[in-house]
Amino acid sequence: MYYLVMVQVSSFEELISLIKDRLDIVDVVSQFVALKKSGANYWGLCPFHGDKKPSMSVSPSKGIYKCFSCGAGGDALNFLVKIQNREYKDVIFELADKFGFELPKKFHAVNENKNIKKDMLLACKRAAEFYHEELFSSGSDAKAGMELLIKRDISHDIITAYNLGFAPNKYDSLYKNLKKDFSDEILEKAGLIIKSNNGGYIDRFRNRVIIPIRNENGEYVAFGARAIKDGEAAKYLNSSESLIYNKSRILFGMDTAKDYIKEQDGVIIMEGYFDVISAQSHGVRNAVGSCGTALTPEHVKLISRYTKSRRIYLSFDTDKAGINATKRGSAVIKETLSAIGNVKQFDESHISSVSDDKYACEIRVVSPPQGKDPDEFIRNMGGDAYLEYAKNAPLLIDFLLNNTLKNKNEAKTPQEKAELVSQIIDILKDVNNKIIQTEYVKMVSGIIDVDEKALIKELAKAGADNDYHFRVQDSNRNVTNSSQLEIKAQKNLLSVFLTIDSPLSYMRLNELLPENIIRDEKLIIVKNTIDKISCTINNVRELTKELYTQFIEDDSLTQILTDLIGYSEAFSGLSADEFERAVRENISRLNRLYQEKEKKELQLMYKQVNDDEIQALKMQMQLRDKLKLRTGD
């Protein structure tokens, strides 16, 4: 008999390095994708988008994969994290166990928590089964629960599909059922029981319809409990947060919706459990909901893993509370994704000249007519009608404007009209494209009968004129949102540090690169990380391996690193003189791109100076000084 000898590991970084040494990129990817060898590489259908022809290349020599359609890329460990949609630490701990690596001492508690979590998950699963069976019992309380569901047009098939249940109107039914197999500690940690006044334990939920909550992997982690009678103090009760349940990170219905979100490249976010159940069971399969909490940054990040375009439809109730939830939710989405670009603010079909713009996300609002909430609309009109409505859903900015303009007739006094204008300005000031913003101003000024120039001045006061200062300051900044040509040129230049057979040392390459030549925010992070690692590592293969480890939590940096490895091939096989000449040519090209961009910005700023004489004077003085710096006068 053979036993697996556990290998002692001193640090988390060493653990990752040892695991990576055991992972073969072709073996890992081929577990999920059928690969065919072509030349030095393997090719297959990319699993991260709806690939129709083999777009993903797997390179055994480089140890990476790269999709030339959707851009996904990384090493073997990154592939496992991405394909399984799991936290990277969970994947690492699982692989450590598989390969016989003992976790560093500071992670020993992980093993203990792992066993506790396992028991909690099993207890929740057993509780879900208990509640489900109780719903079909002959008791009068259970019948009342069943009647509530039937009134909402929830059939037996839907009840079975979502494992809906009923908590008996007794203090310890569940506790008695589970205590023979689980300790009080596990049941309490799982949120299934609570301490009573006399020191014993009672069931957390009683006389309520039970909605099991599963994580994205389909494991039971918590419960929502709906009151049988509408007059009760708390209409909904929810499980408390625990080791296995964090409501800020879990979206109801994600386990059944995730494949459809990928397929349709979009997600519909609803408020309530029954909204989601009704939607999914009527064919709106990409619907999810928050679990009794507002939308959080963690929810947005979870969604982003499944929709490449980050196309998000908000579908809340149409009352005032629902409108406020839409505003709060959209603000969270914009703030969370602001680092990667702007929110889509217009439909390209209307303005073809800007159809190539790239967006961090697209937010639309599905607001069914006649004031119905999503559940009611879908039950009355059907899933197809809802999908058709969603298909024509307005972008967030249009929804907010339309909702505000509904009140235009109520603004009769100058003060009321000023308040209406203030609300409109608050929406329009976030429009980044000045052409689009101008068109909105024209449209709105006509609708509310306000002078267009006056509206523009109010917009300027609210922050649009600050954009002039921003443009001047931005041209002095080293970190910019670069054009695609600039990004490509910067990547090409940065890739020289990852050329396997480079004849130039890291020190010589750094001497060749002018200060601040890399200006894109993400690429600066990569360059700074290369500088830090190169102090201790002078082997390109080890450098690349360590970079993937450093960027394991950031998919965008991982993709950039994979791109750089691809670009580096253009410098392979060059002599020292040829390599240096190629680097200098790339630097010159990049400087030309920067100068052309700055020239266009200067021209644009001159055009944007309008009636504001003080602003115009300040602007022209700043531009004059800037032009002097460029010409050397």
Q: Are 24 and 35 in contact (CB under 8 A)?
A: no
User: Confidence class of residue 277 from pLDDT cuts 50, 70 and 90?
Assistant: very high
Most confident of 4-8, 274-278, 332-336, 415-419: 274-278
Burial (CB count within 10 angstroms: exposed 0-12, middle 13-18, buried 19+), residue 523: buried
Q: What is the mean pLDDT of residues 411-423?
A: 85
Say which CATH class 251-403 falls into. alpha beta
Q: What is the mean pLDDT of residues 187-210?
A: 93
What's the one-letter identity of residue 21? Answer: D
In the chain, pLDDT over 70 holds for what percent of residues?
86
Q: Are 403 and 303 in contact (CB under 8 A)?
A: no
Higher pLDDT, 444 or 356: 444
Asked which of 59-68, 509-518, 612-621 is least confident by mean pLDDT, the reply is 612-621
242 HSE (CA, 13 A, CB side): 27
Compute the mean pLDDT over every residue in the chain, rounded to the nearest whole number.
84
User: Confidence class of residue 357 from pLDDT cuts 50, 70 and 90?
Assistant: very low
What is the pLDDT at residue 101?
86
201-246 per-position pLDDT tens digit: 999 999 999 999 999 889 999 999 999 987 777 889 999 999 899 9
382-408 per-position pLDDT tens digit: 999 999 989 889 999 899 998 888 878
**Closest C-alpha to 419, from 453, 458, 456:** 458
What is the pLDDT at residue 356?
37
What is the pLDDT at residue 471?
40
| DSSP secondary structure letters along 346-376 | S-TTT-GGGTT---SBEEEE---GGG--HHH
Most confident of 191-205, 326-340, 596-610: 191-205
425-439 per-position pLDDT tens digit: 888 887 877 788 888
Q: What is the mean pLDDT of residues 277-292?
A: 93
pLDDT of 346 strictly over 60: yes
Question: Helix H segments across 100-251?
Answer: 108-135, 140-151, 156-161, 173-178, 184-189
User: Confidence class of residue 138 from pLDDT cuts 50, 70 and 90?
Assistant: confident
- The CA-based angle 590-593-597, given to 5 degrees, is 145
Q: What are phi and psi of 594, to 5 degrees?
A: -65, -45
Q: Are 437 and 480 in contact (CB under 8 A)?
A: no
Higher pLDDT, 608 or 518: 518
What is the pLDDT at residue 625?
59
What's the one-letter identity of residue 446? Answer: G
Q: Are 526 and 487 in contact (CB under 8 A)?
A: no
Domain ranges for the chain, please list them: 7-103, 110-238, 251-403, 407-450, 465-633
Asked which of 43-47, 116-120, 371-375, 403-407 is least confident by mean pLDDT, the reply is 371-375
What is the pLDDT at residue 355?
38
Give the DSSP H or E segment for 314: strand 311-315
CATH 3.30.530.50 holds for 110-238? no
**Closest C-alpha to 248, from 190, 287, 296:** 296
Q: What is the mean pLDDT of residues 171-180?
A: 94
In the three-class reduction of DSSP (H, G, I as helix; E, B as strand; rest coil), residue 207 is classed as: coil
Could you say which of 2.60.40.1180, 3.90.580.10, 3.40.50.80, 3.50.7.10 is the CATH number of the domain covering 7-103?
A: 3.90.580.10
**Closest C-alpha to 255, from 288, 224, 223, 301:** 288
Higher pLDDT, 619 or 191: 191
What is the pLDDT at residue 498?
93
Q: What is the mean pLDDT of residues 355-365?
A: 69
**Closest C-alpha to 277, from 332, 224, 208, 330:** 224
Q: What are phi and psi of 272, to 5 degrees?
A: -105, 160
**Closest C-alpha to 8, from 105, 88, 80:** 105
Higher pLDDT, 135 or 352: 135
User: Confidence class of residue 614 from pLDDT cuts 50, 70 and 90?
Assistant: low
User: Confidence class of residue 186 from pLDDT cuts 50, 70 and 90?
Assistant: very high
What is the pLDDT at residue 110?
58
Q: Are 321 and 373 in contact (CB under 8 A)?
A: no
Segments of 179-230 assigned E as strands: 193-195, 201-203, 208-214, 220-227
What is the pLDDT at residue 450?
85
